[in-house]
């Protein structure tokens, strides 16, 4: 579904991503883990075309996209759940959801069935939702573009533990639906619970990759690269 080969991305003269290669197979969920400032969001921006790589190849559904504009990449079936949620505060929840809606698989009725709280809040303004509700709405908005693949940038950021648990349930439901997505996260337990495979990014390079189950058992790698000091990620 998605293949990156030797991606190098810069901000001006700053070399941020240094030869990133990874893949996400159709129907699978891949987690991209790492501490703050390691290049995770830059990788998302490189894939979606906001900050195109200077070198390397990105293939989405078999087609090279690294030199294509963002709107064309998204039109080809790529959805984005951005960091920070990016709700339009003056629009209602329903207007936020429908602003980019297209296609037939994901409909508003199906979204309300999966996320009933959004139906209850449909006429509220975007800025009247809690942080957790805004995050769910951001995911729902991406789904209504009817993507084949979704990039999720730190969906659990700033959420209370109870809301993170609800988010994990929603992501698990999407996985059961057969949706492929790349999950960029700092919440290691959430990411490993939901994903099939995991990569760890450090200083702009992939320093480890394995199945999520294998990483969950590897306390030494978690401690070295993610700052996880014990084995609580398996709980």
Q: How many domains does the chain have?
A: 1
Q: Please state the rounded mean pLDDT for residues 15-38.
A: 92
Confidence of residue 232 (pLDDT cuts 50, 70, 90): very low
In this structure, is residue 213 part of a structural domain?
yes
Q: Percent of the chain at pLDDT above 70?
A: 96
In this structure, is residue 9 part of a structural domain?
yes
Q: Which CATH number is 31's domain given?
A: 3.40.50.300
Confidence of residue 229 (pLDDT cuts 50, 70, 90): low
pLDDT tens digits, residue range 114-136? 888 888 888 988 778 887 888 88
Cα–Cα distance between 200 and 220 in angstroms, integer?
A: 13
In this structure, is residue 155 part of a structural domain?
yes
Cα–Cα distance between 86 and 88 in angstroms, integer?
A: 7
In this structure, is residue 92 part of a structural domain?
no
pLDDT recorded at residue 19: 95
| Residue 60: its H or E element | strand 55-60
**Is the pLDDT at 163 greater than 60, yes or no?**
yes
In this structure, is residue 98 part of a structural domain?
no
In this structure, is residue 134 part of a structural domain?
no
What is the pTM (predicted TM-score) of this model?
0.85
Do residues 30 and 22 lie in contact, with contact meaning Cβ atoms separated by under 8 Å?
yes
The residue segments making up the domain with residue 25 are 2-87+142-234
Do residues 219 and 228 lie in contact, with contact meaning Cβ atoms separated by under 8 Å?
yes
Give which of 183, 133, 187 is closest to 163, Cα–Cα.
133
pLDDT recorded at residue 166: 80
């Amino acid at each position: 579904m998605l293949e990156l080969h030797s991606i190098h991305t810069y901000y001006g003269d700053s070399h941020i991503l240094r030869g990133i290669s990874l893949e996400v197979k159709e129907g699978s969920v891949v987690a991209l883990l790492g501490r703050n400032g390691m290049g995770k969001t830059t990788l998302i921006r490189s894939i979606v075309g906001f900050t195109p790589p200077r070198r390397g190849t990105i293939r989405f559904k078999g087609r090279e996209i690294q030199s294509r504009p963002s709107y064309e990449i998204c039109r080809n079936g790529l959805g984005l759940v951005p960091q920070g949620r990016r709700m339009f505060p003056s629009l209602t929840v329903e207007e936020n959801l429908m602003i980019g809606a297209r296609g037939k698989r994901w409909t508003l009725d199906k979204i309300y069935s999966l996320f009933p709280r959004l139906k209850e809040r449909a006429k509220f303004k975007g800025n009247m939702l809690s942080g957790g509700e805004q995050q769910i709405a951001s995911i729902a908005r991406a789904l209504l573009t009817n993507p084949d693949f979704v990039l999720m940038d730190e969906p659990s950021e700033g959420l209370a533990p109870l809301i993170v648990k609800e988010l994990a349930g929603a992501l698990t439901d999407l996985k059961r639906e057969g949706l492929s997505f790349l999950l960029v996260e700092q919440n290691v337990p959430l990411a490993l619970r939901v994903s099939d495979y995991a990569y760890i990014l450090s200083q702009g390079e992939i320093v480890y990759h394995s199945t999520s189950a294998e990483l969950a058992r590897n306390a030494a790698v978690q401690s070295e690269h993610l700052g996880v000091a014990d084995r609580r990620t398996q709980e």
